[in-house]
């Protein structure tokens, strides 16, 4: 339960290693010490971003699109063409990019992870392919095609493939097409069979898939976008994969309030962008309301402060609110998602089209914070305990600062208890936190796992009044609560 995932940008990491070793590198060059470090940090999953083969046509679009090139230059003033390797999601084939090693390299990488108890997550892009995918030539009927009139009317959504015809770009209903992709046609049953076969092949080399923009192929969304009656894909696809690989994990990138829909269709986890947005808006009431959803839904949510699509958390959240947002993001139930560079406090986002990043200076304070947070996440109660949202009450009449507090309780069996409480506001606040557990008439210790704070409170006080807290702006506590045995308490009082 509540696993922890690290998203590794394979392209960036191998490029860094190539600079260090002064030669081309492959997956086999990622040192065992680095894998051991991931284990020491407490990760369960490694999400290898950008591992699949991309094609020449998609890469050419990436290198010539003026808007994208301008974005690259903002990160890399010394940009060269070789830095632009094409989008991770314009996939030509679900096989290891030849630059990263031979066919066995991916299997060996997975085996090295498995030896350490780590699982491997890879991408699956159901909505579209690269424009030079073999299907374009072998099965053009797999794609949505257009007419010269379509291309003239919507040049941003259609493209001419030499000797093949006019094809639609992959897109969602709210934006222009992605010009380095072609749109698959889920109105054609053969596409569903072919994509299930792709999934079954992927499942041979990893433990789970992160499904890019998974909601785009839902029949109602597909019809809204393309005016085509689509066949339902996810329930049958997930079932067929899990028949052969019962523990295979499906994660959906999903938006537009369709998270629960995809959970019901079989996804193990779905992105929780709403929590990110509410934390970013810095409205404590909206964040607290978010945590009132059913526990079953929350346990299957992917919690993140950044990923390859979002801005860098260190460049978006001021230092204080960054830590407060991280406590709320990662100490609630669900899958805890950390992004390449996040633990170092990188501030510059790296485009998914690039295979090089500018050198980014680590933020030592954030590095220390994240190391402490990851150590805390290894606590057994946060891994396998029971979670609940706790009530906060005014500390005294006319003091409204209690409304900015968000508190969680974690417990496992009778005595293992954790209290997470955050003042999610730019000013100090006071409140009483109601603690719903049974309390004995003994002294209890409250040891903060992320600071030196330490308190002692009587069980009767915690039972009747709750816990009084006075917390500075954007600060929080993670209290491990333990009872002092009666004889130990007696000795303590006598001394």
pLDDT digits (tens, 9 = 90+) for 369-390: 999 999 999 999 999 999 999 9
Q: How far apart are CA 139 and CA 191, in angstroms?
A: 10
Query: Who's near 311: CB < 8 A, 6+ residues apart?
Result: 349
**Regions of the chain where pLDDT drops below 70:** 414, 485-495
The pLDDT score that the predictor gives to residue 244 is 97
Spell out the SS3 assignment of the chain: CCCEEEEEEHHHHHHHHHHHHCCCCCHHHCCHHHHHHHHHCCCCEEEEECCEEECHHHHHHHHHCHHHHHHHHHHCCCCCHHHECCCCCCEEEEEECHHHCCHHHHHHHHHHHHHCCCEEEEEECCCEECCCCHHHHHCHHHECECCHHHHHHCCCCEEEECCCEEEECCCCCCCCCCCCCEEECCCCHHHHHHHHHHHHHHCCCCCEEEECCHHHHCHHHHHHHHCCCCCCCHHHHHHHHHHHCCCCEEEECCCCCCHHHHHHCCCCEEECHHHHHHHHHCCHHHHHHHCCCCHHHHHCEEEECCCCCCCCHHHHCCHHHHHHHHHHHHCCCCEEEEECCHHHCCCCCCCCCECCCCCCCCCHHHHHHHHHHHHHHCCHHHHHCEEEEECEEECCCCCHHHHHEEEEEEEECCCEEEEEEEECCCCCEEEEECCCCCCCCCEEEEEECCCCCEEEEEHHHHHHCCEEEEECCCCEEEEEEEECCHHHHHHHHHC
Nearest C-alpha neighbor of 330 from the set 140, 491, 478:
478
The pLDDT score that the predictor gives to residue 400 is 96
Compute φ and ψ for 341, nearest 5 degrees: 95, -15
The pLDDT score that the predictor gives to residue 485 is 67
Nearest C-alpha neighbor of 15 from the set 30, 7, 25, 28:
25
Give the model confidence (pLDDT) of 302-350 as tens digits. 999 999 999 999 999 998 899 999 999 999 999 999 999 999 999 999 9
The pLDDT score that the predictor gives to residue 206 is 98
């Amino acid at each position: 339960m509540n696993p922890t995932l690290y998203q590794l940008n394979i392209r960036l990491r191998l490029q860094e290693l190539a600079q260090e070793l002064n030669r081309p590198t492959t997956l086999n060059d990622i040192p065992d010490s680095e894998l051991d470090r991931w284990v020491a940090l407490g990760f369960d999953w490694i999400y290898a971003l950008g591992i699949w083969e991309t094609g020449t046509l998609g890469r050419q679009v990436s290198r010539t699109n003026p808007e994208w090139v301008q974005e690259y230059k903002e990160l890399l003033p010394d940009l060269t063409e070789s830095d632009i390797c094409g989008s991770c999601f314009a996939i030509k084939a679900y096989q290891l990019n030849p630059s990263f090693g031979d066919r066995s390299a991916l299997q060996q990488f997975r085996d090295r992870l498995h030896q350490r108890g780590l699982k491997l997550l890879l991408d699956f892009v159901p909505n579209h392919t690269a424009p030079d995918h073999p299907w374009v030539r072998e099965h053009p009927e797999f794609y949505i095609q257009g007419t010269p009139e379509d291309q003239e009317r919507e040049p941003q959504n259609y493209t001419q493939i030499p000797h093949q015809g006019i094809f639609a770009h992959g897109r969602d209903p709210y934006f222009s097409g992605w010009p380095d992709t072609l749109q698959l046609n889920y109105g054609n049953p053969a596409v569903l069979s072919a994509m299930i076969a792709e999934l079954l092949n992927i499942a041979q080399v990893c433990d789970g898939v992160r499904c890019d923009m998974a909601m785009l192929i839902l029949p109602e969304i597909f019809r809204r976008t393309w005016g085509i009656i689509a066949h339902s894909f996810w329930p049958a696809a997930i079932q067929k994969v899990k028949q052969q690989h019962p523990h295979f994990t499906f994660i959906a990138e999903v938006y537009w309030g369709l998270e629960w829909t995809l959970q019901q269709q079989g996804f193990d986890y779905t992105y929780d962008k709403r929590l990110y947005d509410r934390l970013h808006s810095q409205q404590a009431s909206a964040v607290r309301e978010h945590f009132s959803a059913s526990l079953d839904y929350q346990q299957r949510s992917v919690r993140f402060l950044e990923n390859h699509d979002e801005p860098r958390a260190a460049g978006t959240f001021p230092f204080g609110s960054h830590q407060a947002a991280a406590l709320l993001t990662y100490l609630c139930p669900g899958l805890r998602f950390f992004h390449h560079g996040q633990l170092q406090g990188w501030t510059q986002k790296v485009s998914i089209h690039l295979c090089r990043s500018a050198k980014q200076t680590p933020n030592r304070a954030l590095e220390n914070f994240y190391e402490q947070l990851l150590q805390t996440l290894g606590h057994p109660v946060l891994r396998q305990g029971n979670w609940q949202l706790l009530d906060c009450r005014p500390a005294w009449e006319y003091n409204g600062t209690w409304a900015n507090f968000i508190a969680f309780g974690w417990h496992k069996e009778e005595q293992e208890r954790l209290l997470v409480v955050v003042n999610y506001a730019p000013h100090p606040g006071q409140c009483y936190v109601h603690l719903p557990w049974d309390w004995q008439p003994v002294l209890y210790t409250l040891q903060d796992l992320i600071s030196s704070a330490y308190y002692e409170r009587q069980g009767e006080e915690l039972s009747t009044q709750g816990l009084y807290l006075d917390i500075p702006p954007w600060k929080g506590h993670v209290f491990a609560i333990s009872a002092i045995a009666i004889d130990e308490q007696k000795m303590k009082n006598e001394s």
